[in-house]
């Protein structure tokens, strides 16, 4: 994506406070994305990451919540306001050591389906 588009659109990272999510948000910021929405369960951890990214010049909004909650996509749209999505990196997920099979499917599959089925979120064409 051209540099000019990076300043006009927002990048969304779910699971942002996990190892891969934090690395992804940091890499996006370093690659020129100036506007980020980072999402995860813990608002305190999100704010810590956001502060770090803001210190490099990024504009960072946070959205604390469970990505598997059926209303999460609507909350995400609300957090975007008028901004158009340029990228979504869905890093939220859990392993068999973290939960039972039903919960794993809800987080890893159900949440992904709901995010994709969100369709035309602010013209992003997900």
The CATH number of the domain holding residue 25 is 3.40.50.720
CA 3 to chain centre: 20
Q: Which two tokens stand for residue 47?
A: 């704010």
pLDDT of 35 above 80: yes
pLDDT of 120 above 90: no
pLDDT of 122 above 60: no
Distance CA 57, CA 111 (A): 31
pLDDT of 121 above 90: no
In a domain, 86, yes or no: yes
**Strand ranges across the sheet with 9-14:** 59-64, 35-40, 9-14, 84-90
Residues 72-97 pLDDT 10s: 999 999 999 889 999 999 999 999 99
Q: Which two tokens stand for residue 99?
A: 């939960």
In a domain, 123, yes or no: no
Distance CA 63, CA 75 (A): 8
* Domain extent at residue 97: 3-117
pLDDT at position 125, please?
Answer: 44
In a domain, 126, yes or no: no
Q: Binning pLDDT at 50, 70 and 90, where does residue 19 land?
A: very high
3-class SS at 99? Answer: coil
In a domain, 122, yes or no: no
pLDDT of 4 above 80: no
Q: How many domains, the chain?
A: 1
This prediction's pTM: 0.86
In a domain, 92, yes or no: yes
In a domain, 125, yes or no: no
């Amino acid at each position: 994506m051209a540099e000019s588009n990076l300043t006009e659109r927002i990048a969304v990272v779910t699971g942002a406070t996990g190892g891969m999510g934090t690395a992804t948000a940091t890499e996006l910021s370093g690659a020129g994305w100036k506007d980020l929405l980072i999402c995860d369960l813990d608002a305190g951890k999100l704010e810590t990451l956001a502060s770090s990214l803001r210190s490099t010049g990024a504009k960072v909004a946070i959205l604390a919540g469970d990505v598997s909650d059926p209303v999460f996509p609507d909350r995400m749209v609300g957090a975007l306001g008028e901004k158009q999505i340029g990228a979504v990196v869905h890093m939220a997920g859990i392993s068999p050591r973290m939960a039972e099979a039903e919960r794993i499917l809800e987080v890893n599959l159900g949440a992904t389906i709901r995010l994709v089925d969100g369709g035309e979120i602010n013209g992003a064409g997900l």
